[in-house]
Amino acid sequence: MKVLTTAQMHQLEENSVKSGVTMEMLMENAGQAVADEAGRILEDIRQQQILILIGPGNNGGDGLVAARHLHDAGAKVFLYLFGQRPGRDPTLKPIRERRIKRIEAEKDDNLDELTKLLASVDTVIDALFGTGTTRPFSGLLLMVLDRVRRVKIKRPDVKTIALDIPSGLNADTGEADPGCLYVDNTITLAFPKPGLFKFPGAERVGEISVVDIGLPGFVEEKAGPEYLADEWAKSVLPERSPQANKGSFGKVLVLAGSINYIGAPYLACNGAMRVGAGLVTLAAIGRLQAILANKLTEVTYLPLPESRPWLIASEAIKMLFRQFEQYNVLLMGCGMGQNEAVVRLIRSILLSHPKAKTAKPKLPSLVLDADGLNALAGVPKWWDLMPEDAILTPHPGEMARLTGMTADEVQLDRMELTRKMAGEWHKTIVLKGAHTVIAAPDGRSQISHVANAGLASAGTGDVLAGAIAGLLAQGLNLFDAAAAGVYIHGMAGEAVKARLGDTGMIASDLLPELPVIIKQLKASRHSEEAE
């Protein structure tokens, strides 16, 4: 499913009308879909008191249709109308016939009626303005939204839902009017919009649902990034034959850890194992191996020599090159540190010198994280000196170092920057953070729906790097392994959040959830295949 701009959505709607689907039909489909999804979110809408804020345009029309369907499903619906609806608005007649209570904002002195409703309703649906409105809010409209905002603070149990986008959010840029609500859920129509994933607006949208409204399915391949969804993730999961052996599921060599980051190899190795890699080997100095051996009982070890306590000796490079041919994937960088010896080691493994007399042995497919990336920063045109068969997994700070930008500049347009650099560097890139972006050199890209504050803790990136490496070892291509790893990791985070909340989640909480998410995806896939 593509992420489409406002202009692309308007073009699709025009194409739909030309093909015989009227705007009235699309509005009916949208309202029905929103009502159905609201029912799923609220679980039981019978006798629920639902206030819908209705604007003067198409977003308000969708809200009126949704109001009818919610009323018919047993909810007690109230409408708060802002601005004049068109004189012959066909969506108003069914509202009158059902005697659904309507209040006009312009006639509500001191917003008294709104205040009374907000004191008792269970849910507020924002259907004021959609993708076509970008003007600043002021006056009565700002007062209405502020009243809703204050009630949400006093009564956090009141559910707030945005229809398509929260009013005041720019659907393309993510810019948000000061009056834009922070909602619990956004039910977006037909396709996700870029602004839902761009900050500051992204922090206002809550959980995103995408509903079908009957628009034609054809979208140009280069229209924009894909929305990373379970249907896609199910389709790329590797099969596992009952007759397989551990070699069938790939071998991962992990080069990670240092005196300051002893836990990083544990998390990365377990991430790879928990998504199904057949064999994981940790290449580490003996001191690190001795500490981890009691916890990492399933991995094998490649002991590396030390030059000084806790420093890998340069002789390790030859040892590693002799081992590489035995592995499908090399995961490198998690918690390795940035001392000069480590940087030299990483660069010696990754980078080829243009004037070298002999070629280096071929490396396995690469997953580079953390200090593996930091070691590249500052090397002129490093991307031309290393293999293209690589996945880079930077967070915004690491991406800033690789590009020479600031972290704030990286965050301005994460989607576009990731796609651009994947093409220039000829590497698959995973730009981590809220709504992680994945991009391939050929222009393909995906964006995750997950924005989970619980994942903003030390070590979760090590788990992700391991999961990506484990999937890559099982035969997925670079882009699919990266995107599937992001999806499974994100859903594992959502599962932990549902159980513990988003405070106090730690990276190791994710590990037992990874195979559970894969099991759920496979069960859903097999169920669909059986139908």
Task: Measure the CA–CA gap between 6 and 209, rounded to whole angstroms.
Answer: 18
Task: Measure the CA–CA gap between 368 and 465, rounded to whole angstroms.
Answer: 8
**What is the identity of the amino acid at 5?**
T
Asked if pLDDT for residue 89 goes beyond 80, the answer is yes
Band (pLDDT 50/70/90 cuts) for residue 34 is very high
Band (pLDDT 50/70/90 cuts) for residue 529 is confident
Region 232-258: mean pLDDT is 95
Chain-centre distance of CA 296, in angstroms?
30
pTM of the full structure = 0.92
Asked if pLDDT for residue 110 goes beyond 60, the answer is yes
Mean pLDDT is lowest, of 34-38, 273-277, 448-452, 522-526, for 522-526
Task: Measure the CA–CA gap between 201 and 181, rounded to whole angstroms.
Answer: 10
Exposure string of 190-226, with b = 16+ CB inside 10 Å and e = fewer, is bbbbbbbbbbebbebbbebbbbebebeeebeeebbbb
| pLDDT, tens only, 294-331 | 999 999 999 999 999 999 999 999 999 999 999 999 99
| pLDDT, tens only, 359-395 | 778 999 999 999 999 999 989 999 999 999 999 999 9
Residues 6+ apart with CB under 8 A from 503: 453, 454
Tokens linked to 416 = 């576009």
Residue 102 forms beta bridges with which residues? 79
Asked if pLDDT for residue 358 goes beyond 70, the answer is no
Largest Cα separation within the chain, whole Å, is: 85
Q: Residue 462 in contact with residue 476, Cβ under 8 Å?
A: no
Q: What's the burial of 14, exposed, middle or buried (CB within 10 Å: 0-12/13-18/19+)? A: exposed
Among all chains, which residue has been given the structure tokens 């922090």?
203
Region 123-142: mean pLDDT is 90
Task: Measure the CA–CA gap between 474 and 249, rounded to whole angstroms.
Answer: 5
Number of H helices and number of E strands within the chain? 19, 19
Band (pLDDT 50/70/90 cuts) for residue 30 is very high
Task: Measure the CA–CA gap between 212 and 306, rounded to whole angstroms.
Answer: 59
Task: Measure the CA–CA gap between 303 and 26, rounded to whole angstroms.
Answer: 64
pLDDT for residue 487 = 98
**SS3 of 430, please?**
strand
Angle, helices 513-530 vs 478-500, to 10°: value is: 110
pLDDT for residue 83 = 84
Tokens linked to 133 = 């409105």
Note if the bond before 56 is cis, omega within 30 degrees. Answer: no
Domain boundaries, the chain: 6-224, 243-530
| pLDDT, tens only, 280-299 | 999 999 999 999 999 999 99
First to last CA, the chain: 23
Region 125-154: mean pLDDT is 92
The Cα angle at residue 485 between residues 482 and 486, in degrees rounded to 5: 85
Label the pairing between strands 390-392 and 365-368.
Answer: parallel
Q: Residue 523 in contact with residue 481, Cβ under 8 Å?
A: no
Asked if pLDDT for residue 357 goes beyond 80, the answer is no
Task: Measure the CA–CA gap between 431 and 316, rounded to whole angstroms.
Answer: 30
Region 79-91: mean pLDDT is 85
Task: Measure the CA–CA gap between 310 and 257, rounded to whole angstroms.
Answer: 10
Region 4-8: mean pLDDT is 92
Catalogue the E-assigned strands of 94-231. 101-104, 123-127, 159-163, 185-189, 207-211, 226-227
Among all chains, which residue has been given the structure tokens 């980051």?
261
| pLDDT, tens only, 52-68 | 999 999 999 999 999 99
Phi, psi of 86 (to 5 degrees): -55, 145
Tokens linked to 305 = 């020599």
pLDDT for residue 248 = 94
Q: Residue 351 in contact with residue 385, Cβ under 8 Å?
A: yes
Task: Specify the higher pLDDT residue, 149 or 214.
Answer: 149
Task: Measure the CA–CA gap between 407 and 387, rounded to whole angstroms.
Answer: 26
Task: Measure the CA–CA gap between 401 and 222, rounded to whole angstroms.
Answer: 28
pLDDT for residue 360 = 79
Task: Specify the higher pLDDT residue, 110 or 491.
Answer: 491
- Torsion sign (Cα): 34, 37, 41, 47: positive
Q: For the domain 6-224, what is the CATH superfamily, name and number?
A: YjeF N-terminal domain (3.40.50.10260)
| pLDDT, tens only, 484-508 | 999 999 999 999 999 999 999 999 9
Band (pLDDT 50/70/90 cuts) for residue 218 is low
Task: Measure the CA–CA gap between 320 and 313, rounded to whole angstroms.
Answer: 12
DSSP one-letter code for 86: P
**What is the identity of the amino acid at 515?**
P
Task: Measure the CA–CA gap between 344 and 367, rounded to whole angstroms.
Answer: 18
pLDDT for residue 355 = 60
Asked if pLDDT for residue 212 goes beyond 80, the answer is yes
DSSP one-letter code for 428: E
Task: Measure the CA–CA gap between 403 and 399, rounded to whole angstroms.
Answer: 6
Instruction: Tell me what the pLDDT averaged over the chain comes to.
Output: 94
DSSP one-letter code for 242: T
CATH 3.40.1190.20 fits domain 243-530 = yes
Question: Are 6-224 and 243-530 the same fold in CATH?
Answer: no
Q: Residue 200 in contact with residue 438, Cβ under 8 Å?
A: no
Task: Specify the higher pLDDT residue, 529 or 39.
Answer: 39
Q: Residue 270 in contact with residue 463, Cβ under 8 Å?
A: yes
pLDDT for residue 527 = 75
Structure-derived torsion over alpha carbons of residues 31, 37, 41, 47, reported in degrees to the nearest 10: 50
pLDDT for residue 524 = 87
Task: Measure the CA–CA gap between 73 and 281, rounded to whole angstroms.
Answer: 57
